[in-house]
Amino acid sequence: MAALPAVQDYRALAHKRLARMARDYLEGGAEDLRTLGRNRKAYDALLFKPTVLTDVTSVDASVEVLGQPLAMPAVVGPTGLNGLYYPRAEEALATAAHRAGLPFVVSTASTSLLEDVRRASDGELWLQLYVQRDRGISQRMMERARAAGYSVLMLTVDTPVHGVRDHDIRNGFKMPLRITSRLMADVITHPRWCLRMLRQGGSPQLVNLARSAGTAVNLAAQAAAMSRQMDMSLDWQDIDWLRAHWPGRLLVKGILSVDDALKARATGVDGIVLSNHGGRQLESAPSPLELLPAVAEAAGSAMTVMMDGGIRRGSDIVKARALGAQAVLLGRAPLYGLAARGPRGVDEVLQILRRECETTLRLLGCPRAAELSPSVFQPAWKERLKAL
């Protein structure tokens, strides 16, 4: 079957193939989904100002971020419980990212071991870290990542507790899964998804967390480790503790204000990721894109600024880069490809985004992504963002 035309088509196919609980976990946001919707509205608010009669025979979507070349201004970002969508999900995402010339970020809540992901890919691998109350778990996670050649640590700071996610409550989605008549009906009506789960031995396991926590490989113990032990005392002074255990590049993910961006810069971290956790944590939070210009200006050249949230088109990547993000993190989009068509679906989604990015550069009359700036927008772009 030929590749589908757009990320949205992979999303639609993923919806058909995933059991409802898996689909809702992938797509859902916090409370009434206002933050989730705001992420997309921010992109829609920006209008381009193309320049014509410019030589765009060749275009270059590549950029350099943290000293690493990227084929386009994007990183395949961290997402948890990916085994809900396809067996050995992280290995598939990592190998597709490498083929696309992009780094891949493995989540603390991954369903594949750090070491297995490294064996599957020779590409750039980063580790996303949640810090548990027992900090020995995080220390062991960092040690394992260093030993496996991971180059960047991404500390997520916006999840001291889980946001209120009504869809998970309605579906009874929590770990370990409780067998109910509703769940059984959901599984039976999605035989393709059911067979995928059986191929990996049933429900996906948080094996990465279990390995570092010394926890038995069963979902009840892993779920307890993930929820009960999140360190709610973590503060800016703990950056020094992380530095003592991680000699490589360090990013802080979950920034949503200029003030916190400046605090991050003062600690000497290498960069930040503007993020509202894909609309899944705090309801009525701003979108990263609307904060990006002010944060990028405040950060200056002292640290790298990236962002995530709502990227569905190559033109979205171009908009973020033009407003000051060195790169975006791709979250749901690659997962749509994975859930829809397996590993080749991830390849196809990343190819679509790269192709759309290059097409947008050509139509803008800006042949190099590295040279993007707010000048590619209509003059009223600031007002349009403020009106969200």
- Could you tell me which residues are beta bridge partners of residue 256? none
Burial category of 200 from C-beta neighbours within 10 Å (exposed 0-12, middle 13-18, buried 19 and up): middle
Residue with tokens 């031995």: 201
The domain limits of the chain are: 7-386
Give the helix/strand (H/E) hosting 351. Answer: helix 343-364
Write down the pLDDT at residue 286. Answer: 96
What is the Cα–Cα distance from 255 to 264, expressed in whole angstroms? 9
Pairing of strands 271-274, 304-308: parallel
Catalytic residue, chosen from 98, 162, 167, 277, is: 277
Q: How far apart are the first and last CA of the chain?
A: 40
| Prediction pTM value | 0.94
Q: Spelled out in words, what is the top-level CATH class assigned to the domain 7-386?
A: alpha beta
pLDDT at 192: 79
The tens-digit pLDDT sequence of the chain (388 residues) is 789 999 999 999 999 999 888 999 999 999 999 999 999 999 999 999 999 999 999 999 999 999 999 999 999 999 999 999 999 999 999 999 999 999 999 999 999 999 999 999 999 999 999 999 999 999 999 999 999 999 999 999 999 998 999 888 787 776 555 666 676 777 777 877 887 777 776 678 888 888 888 876 555 555 555 555 789 999 999 999 999 999 999 999 999 999 999 999 999 999 999 999 999 999 999 999 999 999 999 999 889 999 999 999 999 999 999 999 999 999 999 999 999 999 999 999 999 999 999 999 999 999 999 999 999 999 999 899 988 8
Q: Are 182 and 249 in contact (CB under 8 A)?
A: no
Q: Phi and psi dihedrals of 148, rounded to 5?
A: -90, 0
Q: Any catalytic annotation for residue 98?
A: no
Sign of the four-CA dihedral 337, 354, 377, 286:
positive
Largest alpha-carbon pair distance within the chain? 63
Helices 34-45 and 288-299: crossing angle in degrees, nearest 10, is 70
DSSP string, 171-215: HT--SSPPP-HHHHHHHHT-HHHHHHHHHTTSS---HHHHHHHT-
Report how far residue 224's alpha carbon sits from residue 313's, in angstroms, rounded to the nearest whole number. Answer: 37
Nearest of 145, 119, 125 to residue 76 by alpha carbon = 125
In the chain, the amino acid numbered 373 is: S
Looking only at the bridges linking them, the beta strands covering 63-65 and 68-70 are antiparallel
